A and B are shown apart, each in its own frame.
Chain A
């Protein structure tokens, strides 16, 4: 009975941690698949057109 109880508490804590793990996982997923149109790295906004082309 104790084993089941401890196991279930552990599962609860794992899922709580997992919900926070979803944030980096989601970012990695978007980066790898190129989905969601997220911008990574510094913005090109302040560069001249020539720099951007390079």
Chain B
């Protein structure tokens, strides 16, 4: 890479016109593209969730047949995971990692451009199945074989997953190479800000498991079209093997969607408590332990397939072990808040809600980890409530917190604080009204993935749907607030928040197109 001759002028601004966005290799432009793309996907997947909740508002079939319902559930999952949460984190990584480590850009800028532009093509392919005979995939985002191998249009699904996988692998390679090679002099690994650390670990997880997902969908494709029998019992294959391979990817994947959130929360809580983060290195060790443990717990997603007792015990205890490093993180956040001079700006509200609600999701996860109890909870709405608690007020709230927190740095304008708070409270109430009742119906035995349900679940489902509409439509407010801050607003200072630490706050607001062309000096006095 060092052989590339740098002969262009370093002081030019962005290109004019729309082609700027197509050909850009600037980490800030690419970060912006990722974030807008992820927001578009968030609204798309959200619209599908609105359809799902509208159907479940009352028992019986009102709006759609069960096949359409299953398609919406599947696409909602795929879009929110691969199109919403993951690109949002990659976008934040693009914007923030170079600025936080004092690098001029990502290490591999052209690959960076490609890894973004693969995403819209992948989702175009995936969504194009909506207009085809046979329709969208309807086998759930987990695409268990051999149900999925017998579905129409599966090749589109497989290729879309391949392309998304290639995109995230390239993104991760870029993140690792950047962090390993382009840190400002004096910035040792253990001094790195936690968002950078969380992404370093996430990137390694992605490199380890995205190829396994690619392998799984390739086998699926071969089973469907090339006459192999990886997962078809009739040909000597094994459907349970599919679940093992899928969850070997799937469990690290759920940590891929939460580790960057841990990093973001650490920054925000420290800033608005006006204290350095409590236990910086223990946070790093906790994230590393969580990442390592994520590879040995996958079978807790499939306790009911008929595993030997000893395997069930192993996966149960390994899963419970993860609560320890996670507990360390929650403890450190609370200890950071303790005796701080706290103010409650919108990012802080989202971060505190993250800590509280993510912990609720973590505890329901512990309940699910208990094997004998899981036989009761498996495939009920309790599971739906659990993973939505860790993903919506977990991952999604942290992304919103990050947007509010760094938006003044990106746009140079402060967002409307009053509107931000309103958005927070509507989202907070909406999320809890949506997902808390799902614990109740789940424990009472309501199964997942059905378009209809028994009459005794009607009340809580109606409540849940009302909450979902509240949460869904309040995201339009988010769009309004962000657009308003992009257009105009009170000018932000470079420091923005008086308790903020880190190199990104030493550059102007809005951050100039090129930052840290000369690496900053990291000394003992640099507030990181």
Interface residues of A (CB under 8 A from B): 1-2, 4-5, 8-9, 11-16, 18-20, 22-23, 26-27, 33, 35-36, 38
Contact = CB atoms under 8 A, between A and B. Distances in A.
The secondary structure that dominates the A interface is helix
B367 interface: no
B39 interface: no
B208 A35 contact: no
B241 A26 contact: yes
B88 interface: no
Contacts of B107: 1
B207 A8 contact: yes
Question: Which of A4, A9, A35 has the most B CB atoms < 10 Å from its CB?
Answer: A4
Contacts of B306: 36
Contact of A22 (B1, B240, B245): B245
B215 A20 contact: yes
A39 to B, nearest CB: 9
Contact of B212 (A19, A26, A33): A19
28 contacts: A1-B1, A1-B107, A1-B181, A2-B1, A5-B108, A5-B173, A8-B173, A12-B207, A12-B210, A14-B211, A15-B210, A15-B212, A15-B215, A16-B215, A18-B215, A19-B211, A19-B212, A19-B215, A19-B216, A19-B219, A20-B215, A22-B215, A22-B248, A26-B244, A33-B308, A35-B308, A36-B238, A36-B240
A7 to B, nearest CB: 9
B169 A23 contact: no
A1 B177 contact: yes
Nearest to A37: B306
A16 B214 contact: yes
B308 to A, nearest CB: 6
A17 to B, nearest CB: 8
Interface of B is mostly: helix
A-B pairs, top 10 by smallest CB distance, nearest first, are A19-B215, A15-B211, A16-B211, A19-B212, A8-B173, A1-B181, A1-B1, A4-B177, A26-B241, A12-B211
Contacts of B248: 22
B238 A38 contact: yes
Nearest to B173: A8
A32 B405 CA distance: 55
B435 interface: no
B209 interface: yes
Contacts of B241: 22-23, 26
Contacts of A22: 212, 215, 241, 244-245, 248
B3 to A, nearest CB: 9
B143 interface: no
A13 B177 contact: no
A4 B182 CA distance: 12
A19 B173 contact: no
Contacts of A13: 211
Contacts of A19: 211-212, 214-216, 219, 245
A36 B305 CA distance: 9
Nearest to A36: B240
Contacts of B2: 1-2
A11 B245 contact: no
A20 B215 CA distance: 6
Contacts of A33: 308
Interface in B467-505: none
Contacts of A11: 207-208
A23 B230 contact: yes
Contacts of B176: 4, 8
Contacts of B169: 12
B404 to A, nearest CB: 33
Interface string B192-212: 000000000000000111111
A9 B215 contact: no
Given A11-B208, A13-B211, A22-B245, 14 more contacts: A1-B2, A4-B176, A5-B173, A8-B173, A11-B207, A12-B210, A16-B215, A18-B212, A18-B215, A19-B216, A19-B219, A22-B212, A35-B308, A36-B240
Interface in B240-267: 240-241, 244-245, 248
B147 interface: no
